[in-house]
Amino acid sequence: MPAGRARDLDHMCAHLNAWVDQLGAVVAREAESLLWLRGSRLDDETDRVDVVILLVDPVSKPKMHFGARCCLLGHDGAVEFHMPDEWPVVVSISSRASRLSPNFRAVDMVTSDELSLDLVSSNRVWQLIPLTWNFADTDSLLDMVITGAGEPFKKVIKLPRPRAAKVDLANELGISDPIAYGREHVDTPSSSAPAAGEEEADDPLGGPLDDAGDEVLDGIGAHAEFENVVGLPEAALDDMREEMEHVMQVVDHAADDFGLGDVRADLAPDEALGDSDLEEERGVASGSLDPPPVEGLVSVLTPAPENTFADLIRTSHKDSLGYTSNPLPPFNSIPKCGRINTWPNDRLEKFRSVGCRCYLHPSCSAPAKARWQTPDELLLKWLYSGVVVDGASRARKKELGREHMRLFASIFAAHQDDAAASGAAGSSTDAAPS
């Protein structure tokens, strides 16, 4: 196709698409928009051809529309004709031989691309004129009575918005040296420190500003993106924290698959941690953390006196999304105690990972493990080992959460030992599924 013809074809397609876009999706899908295409030669305006199309189905991706050709009633189905000068005019949806077999008839459907190619090939200048019509008072639904025509459609071309003129703020404000001016007016640490008798401002989301570690997950609204989340309900912020923790669980499990250990434990160099912190981090990464001192975690290891772990696991309820709840105290005061989540969903269960999010404490969760060796009973036992303290401060809840997370290594190791002793599938002596 010559370059000029291809350009004209693109131009015609763009005009047909613009007409459909101007109708709007609701009106276009009603299949009641009738378009009159009037073509004439530049050298002879009396040599005119008219085509009428009923928009049947608008398509957005890829942008292409289907229309039904129409003919004048009683003119032997000619889809190119001379439109009468006076209204009303009766047209009928045309039919043609089926593309599957000449023995059958089909509605004369055409795509906007095919229609544009036919129009451009005729070497005419075309106008797009919308029509108004009503159904004809006959037994056929193919007949339409054209009652009038609108103004020729013109495609609106949006011009780029001119850029605003640059303003020389230095001259506008009378500042000869902006850098020196900024240094003189910058706040110093002493000027930003709270005055005597004043307290430091708390995070508007309910707690003091967090500054390091996993506090980033819990204090999401207190940092650079604060203006984007301020005013959101607490449930929305919990979902954001949970999603960020879920991402870290996926990274941890991927690192475990490749023998990299706990990614979060390796983020900081050894010299940046104290001796006790370094031993704790390495212990969690290797899975060899010794059980915490009994005197400090008696309440953590023991459920409510009247309820055993068996009772709590038996009465625990998990919905289709993995959220767990329990009617027994002290967990009956919490609508959702935690959430057990497995991924990815497109794999067999033995090839999935599993993690447990704890809602008893802020930023508390069990590390991601292979699903085949981590049953729900183990995760529920860990979840219900958490301490629930009414009226506890935020700092106390975080401390209980850290104790709760350290406890998982002991519970998981005990489960592995029990499975190995009993010879059950999923023990530490079994090979992982290939």
Q: Would residue 183 count as lying in a domain?
A: no
Q: Which whole number is the average pLDDT over 110-114?
A: 94
Answer yes or no: do 243 and 370 share one domain.
Answer: yes
Tokens 């500003």 — which residue?
209
Q: For position 231, what pLDDT does the model report?
A: 57
Q: Is the pLDDT of residue 396 over 60?
A: yes
Structural domain contains residue 163 = no
- Among residues 129, 149, 169, the one where a domain terminates is 149
Both 121 and 246 in one domain: the answer is: no
- Positive or negative CA dihedral for 210, 215, 216, 218? negative
For position 265, what pLDDT does the model report?
42
Does residue 430 sit within a domain? no
Give yes or no for residue 115 having a pLDDT over 70. Answer: yes
Domain stops at, among 149, 166, 194? 149
Answer yes or no: is pLDDT of 204 > 70.
no
Is the previous residue joined to 88 through a cis bond, with omega within 30 degrees of 0?
Answer: yes
Look at 6-10, 186-190, 343-347 and tell me which has the smallest mean pLDDT: 186-190
Same domain, 279 and 395: yes
Q: Name which residue leads in pLDDT, 36 or 295.
A: 36
Q: What is the pLDDT of residue 100?
A: 86
Residue 249 resides in a domain: yes
- The tens digit of pLDDT for each residue in 249-265 reads 555 555 544 444 444 44
Query: What is the predicted pLDDT for the residue at 170?
Result: 64
Reported as a single tens digit per residue, the pLDDT across 139-182 is 888 999 999 999 999 887 666 676 666 666 666 666 777 777 77
pLDDT of residue 428: 39
What is the mean predicted confidence (pLDDT) over 266-289? 40
- The percent of residues in the chain predicted with pLDDT above 70, rounded, is 64
Q: How many CB atoms lie within 10 A of CB 250?
A: 15
The answer on 247 and 121 residing in a single domain is no
> What DSSP designation does 361 have?
S
In a domain? residue 175: no
185: how many CB neighbours lie within 10 A of its CB?
Answer: 7
Residue 429: pLDDT band (50, 70, 90) is: very low
Average per-residue pLDDT for the chain? 75
- 399 phi, psi to nearest 5 deg: -65, -45
**Are both 102 and 8 inside the same structural domain?**
yes
DSSP string, 9-61: HHHHHHHHHHHHHHH-HHHHTTT--EEEEEEE-SS-TTSEEEEEEEEEEEETT
Residue 141 shares a structural domain with residue 21? yes
- pLDDT attached to residue 311: 86
**pLDDT score of 274:** 42
Q: Is the pLDDT of residue 122 over 50?
A: yes
Q: How far is CA 59 from the centre of its chain?
A: 24
The tens digit of pLDDT for each residue in 281-339 reads 444 333 333 444 433 333 344 444 456 788 888 899 999 888 999 998 888 888 889 99
pLDDT > 70? residue 189:
no
Residues 243 and 129 in one domain: no
Domain count for the chain, please give it: 2
Does 193 reside within a domain? no
CA 30 to the chain's CA centroid: 30
- Position 30 scores a pLDDT of 92
- Residue 73 has phi, psi (to 5 degrees) of -65, 125
Query: Residue 370 pLDDT > 60, yes or no?
Result: yes
Three-class SS of residue 333? helix
pLDDT in the model for residue 130? 96
Spatial distance between the Cα atoms of 79 and 70, rounded to a whole number of angstroms: 6
Assess whether 139 and 245 both reside in one domain: no
Do residues 148 and 87 make contact, with C-beta atoms less than 8 angstroms apart?
yes
Query: Which of the pair, 333 or 273, is modelled with greater confidence?
Result: 333
The per-residue pLDDT for 182 is 75
Query: Higher-confidence residue: 432 or 139?
Result: 139
**208 is a domain residue:** no
How high is the pLDDT of residue 278?
37
Q: Among residues 115, 149, 183, which one ends one of the domains?
A: 149
Cα separation, 363 vs 249, in Å, equals 12
Start-to-end CA distance of the chain, whole Å, equals 57
Both structure tokens of 343: 């991924």
- Kindly state whether residue 315 falls inside one of the protein's structural domains: yes
**Does one domain contain both 257 and 140?**
no
Assess whether the previous peptide bond of 160 is cis (omega < 30° from 0): no
Model pLDDT, residue 151:
93
Between residues 406 and 99, which one has the greater pLDDT? Answer: 406
Cβ-count burial of 304 within 10 angstroms (0-12 exposed, 13-18 middle, 19+ buried)?
A: middle
pLDDT cut 90: percent of the chain above it: 30
Tokens 């990614």 locate to 263
State the residue range of the domain holding 332: 235-422
> What pLDDT shows up at residue 102?
83
Q: Which residues, listed in sequence order, are joined to residue 71 by a DSSP beta bridge? A: 92
